[in-house]
Structure 1
Amino acid sequence: MYTTLKEECYEANMQLPQLGLVLFTFGNVSAVDRERAVFAIKPSGVPYEALRPQDIVICDYDGKIVEGTMRPSSDTKTHALLYKTWPKIGGISHTHSTHAVAWAQAGMDIPIFGTTHADHTHQDIPCAPALTDEMIQGDYEYETGNQIFDVFAQKGLLYNEMEMVLLQNHGPFTWGKTAEKAVYNSAVLEELAKMAYLTLQINPNTPRIKDTLRLKHYERKHGTNAYYGQGC
């Protein structure tokens, strides 16, 4: 019944080790079917080399299993809440990639220093504060989603413009119109995190990119009159 959705999710998950974004069983990707209000997600703790399309678990927007014999990712409730709240995303990726995690562990936003960053998003990449003890000891994965919503509200960010976030002491979540795009954003985030780290090593006082250049690069790729690429 969900063969195509499982295949999409499987292929996206297999990109994580290929892109060097995960080790061992770290990370997970999900893909949503909006018409049927379900999403597919990697099963918990299964090594990528052993993962098969039929192992992928189907859940509803409350994180309950609809189809599958394996336990879904421990981050399933976070994925479920993001899908339930943000209707235009089609896939979610969560990794523990080195440089993105380093910024998350430092509890710092990733500053926008150059046009590579601006080509993908026009703001600093936000780092949501650490969860409170009550949130951690309560419904942890669900509250992780709420923490993402809170930092977006506080910073006035739109989820369709900023498709990535860090969680302090934890790591990155990214999303996109498809699971493949969510993985793409995970790879981009890791590269931006690495570039920003190296920039500050060279010059700790590096200023952020000027507004005119920042907006020019974002708008030419994502704006109303975008002219990057070949179009339809």
Structure 2
Amino acid sequence: MSAYKYLKEEVYEANMELPRKGLVLYTFGNVSGIDRQAGVVAIKPSGVPYEELRVEDIVVVDLDNQLVEGAMRPSSDTKTHTLLYRHFNTVGGICHTHSTHAVAWAQAMRPIPNLGTTHADHLVASVPVTDVMSDEAIKGDYEHETGLQILDKFKELDLSPEEVEMVLVACHGPFTWGKTPAKAVYNSAVLEELARMAYLTLTINPATPAIKQSLVDKHYFRKHGKDAYYGQGC
């Protein structure tokens, strides 16, 4: 029996939620999860269709990308995941998709503006987009450089990965994260809906302004922080 059975099962279930939510086609995406005490990451194997994926196929690597367990190659995005885990210390799961509307914003190289309360319910800022990767970086360790692009943008904008759990990689697509793999997938679904809503809003009225700060604060902090009152509590 695998020493990481619990983690592989959790990551498998999170991966299988992607096609159920319409966030992936064929092999377009991956979810990982981390056991920080053991120092290992479980992630979808590269290029395996979701309808063929099994729990035992999930690959386990360490934070230096060395294979710990598994018969298949891990996702080609593994180095992006492990770099984010090394720098975003509270993250327990990471998700990458090529969902249609989020990718459209990434390809347009535009952040998704905060236009309404649905967006404000989930984060106080626009969904950031990274800079376009240089030719030198593309020719180098591409997946590692993708992670650096994300880290650089969060540093530039002084964003907290706990408050902004999503990003667009310019010309590529979205990455999201959360305390668990399931929460990372949840955030991917939310991001796709925010991207779709913003696209429709700006199609109807290209001059739509950002939501005013008082509404951002009301909607965000009624769900987050010590004074949150949305839902049923613990």
With structure 2 as the length reference, what TM-score do the two structures score?
0.98
Could you say what secondary structure the match of 2:111 adopts? coil
Could you say which residue in structure 1 is the equivalent of 2:127? 125
Number of residue pairs matched by the alignment: 232
How many angstroms does 1:18 deviate by?
0.4
Query: Could you list the per-position Cα deviations for residues 69-118 of structure 1 after superposition, in whole angstroms to 9, with x for gaps in the alignment?
Result: 10000000000101111110000000000000000000000000000000
2:157 match: 155
User: What does 1:89-100 align with in structure 2 at a 5 Å threshold?
Assistant: 89-100=91-102
Gaps of 5+ in 2: none
| Equivalent residue, structure 1, for 2:148 | 146
| 1:8-157 equivalences in 2 (<5 Å) | 8-157=10-159
Displacement of 1:186 in angstroms is 0.2
CA RMSD after TM alignment: 0.5
Identity of aligned residues (%): 66
TM-score (norm 1): 0.99
C-alpha displacement at 1:64, in angstroms?
Answer: 1.3
The farther-off stretch of 44-53 and 60-69 is 60-69
Shift of 1:46: 0.3
| Matches of 2:178 and 2:73, distance apart in 1 | 25
Deviation at 1:223, TM superposition (A): 2.2
CA distance in 1, matches of 2:111, 2:171: 13
Per the alignment, in what secondary structure is the counterpart of residue 92 of structure 1? strand
**For residue 104 of structure 1, what is the amino acid of its counterpart?**
A
The Cα offsets for residues 132-188 of structure 1, whole Å up to 9 and x where unpaired, read as 111110011001011001101111100000000001100000000000000000000
Structure 1, unpaired ranges of 5+: none
Report the Cα distance in structure 1 between the residues aligned to 2:85 and 2:39, rounded to whole angstroms: 9
- What code does the residue aligned with 2:218 have? K
Q: Matched residues in 1 for 2:8 and 2:160: separation?
A: 29
Structure 1: which amino acid aligns with 2:31? V
Q: Secondary structure at the match of 1:127?
A: coil
